[in-house]
Structure 1
Amino acid sequence: MTARVSLLLVGAGLAALAAIYCYFYWKNEACNGNWISFNRTGLKRDLKQKLYGQHVAAEVVLKAVTGFMRSQNPKKPLVLSLHGWTGTGKNFVSQLIAENIYQKGMTSSFVHLFTATAHFPHEACVSKYKTQLLEWIRGNVSICPRSMFIFDEMDKMHPGLIDSIKPYLDFYDNLNGVSYRQAIFIFLSNAGGESIAQVALDFWKDGKPRPDIHLKDLEMALSLSVFNNKNSGLWHTSLIDKNLVDYFVPFLPLEYKHVVQCGLAEMVSKGRAPDMEVVETMARDLNYFPKEERVFSTQGCKVISSRLDFYI
């Protein structure tokens, strides 16, 4: 066997070993800095370039997550409650947060997504769900203190269920030997969307530009709306009463121009060159309110992926 052939075989063997190592390395995710590392620059860039029409939410999320992740010893877990109509970007933002903390993003074994209608469907089983939820969170935080828990469809959550996790969100050093202070909890809800939309509409009627809307214009009315709404999942909850929700993050209703931006980005994600004429035609055919002025989209960006296929 020539020296050249021997070297080729050795090289092939090393490449195979490297491939095997990479496979097992990436398969066996660990709770350490190699797998969990906050990328503030990445989150800031993603919120600026990929999230449309949500200047308030983008600012609040960036500051909240940055402050929490930079703290060596947070006093409590980070609790964010994201509110707004369907298609305004709540799920997308929770995804961006995960992608800029965990190497594997939403597929990380340390990111846990609960959907009310899928995981907690039966009102008669609320007591059982409470026990299971407590055990699931405790078990996973024991494995990795820097775990993330996302609760989608909070407006469909049975009253009282989310209150069961209150001890984990409070200012405790530890509970039965487990500290929850480094964990992140994110609630996603359509509840409060109408009060947010009303503020946006009032600004528009008064001739005030959208960027002039700030968190202070929305947060108090939003928290009260959610607290007093029986269908919010947070109705009369001690999480609000005891100020355990760090930020109520409002997502404004999207305007026509934001829908167009979503459409152009969706075309790129489909591997197509962005076509303004196609996207504008699609955007014009969607529903807007007020009915005559057609200022705000009632569907946001959620239907765009399927709608575009019809127009392309």
Structure 2
Amino acid sequence: MSTFIIGFDLLLGAGLLWLAWQALFHPKPFAAVVHFMAFGLVMALVWVRLEALDIALAEAAIGTGVTGALLLAALGRLPNGATPRLALRPWQRPPVALALGVVLLLGLWLAWVAWQLPRPGLSAEVTAALPESGVRHPVTAVLLNLRALDTMLELAVMLGAVWLVWSLGPELRPYAPATALPGLPALTRLLHPLFLMVPAYLLWRGSHAPGGAFPAGAVLGAGGVLLLLADAVPWMQRPDRQPLLRLLLSTGLVLFLGLALGGLLLTGTFFAIPVAIAALAILVVEVAAALSIALMLMACYLYGEPGR
């Protein structure tokens, strides 16, 4: 490894630490949000350096795009002067040193656990099971076959987050409507084909290379948030469309559960997919999960429960 690459990696690591500190402790809320969004972009570069392009894409779309939009929307809805900075005495300030100590101890513990893992890992076992998984890429095989229960629970957590966000208050309009940003509808029309083609490509790529439902859903959801900003998807807030919205939100989780129960009926083992139908079953679940993930991200941005 060349000196330039080592220096670049060290610069990325130092930049992450500095941006994280600024996002947590900057005295101005808007500047803190901007630093958080910049942190997501630098973190995406770190994932690229680790050759995890699918995670990098999801980080950029969710960590910077969707989450950044949510934070800016929440900040914009605060009344003026709602976040004053109080002059606290030293003993009244948050125990930063204690928090940093806990993080350091947890980091050392995780490093020790990682050191104890078998080397070179479970790659040989995963590779041996690939012919029976229905896909040709080990990451997709692990996510949707070898540890599918964990992936299904991740969808359940996301759906639970939507219910929690909807319970916070009544329906609110997007923070930056199209009338306030006249160029936004044109930008949306320009980027909309990309937000459709890239997720489709990621779904297709997921069977044999890094990709799959989660990065595809992240990119599609980021495009959906842009549509919400441009007020281009009013059906999500119409009371008569709420049954359809709730059905689409839960489709990924329901199909995942159906796949698990189907495996139990056909093979006697929970989540055991017969080899003959594994490829088709995974494709159907991938498409449904990507659509549900995208709509979950958009539904979180709606803030309140639509149509109440």
Q: TM-score with structure 1 length normalisation?
A: 0.23
User: Higher helix fraction: Structure 1 or Structure 2?
Assistant: 2
User: Higher strand fraction: Structure 1 or Structure 2?
Assistant: 1
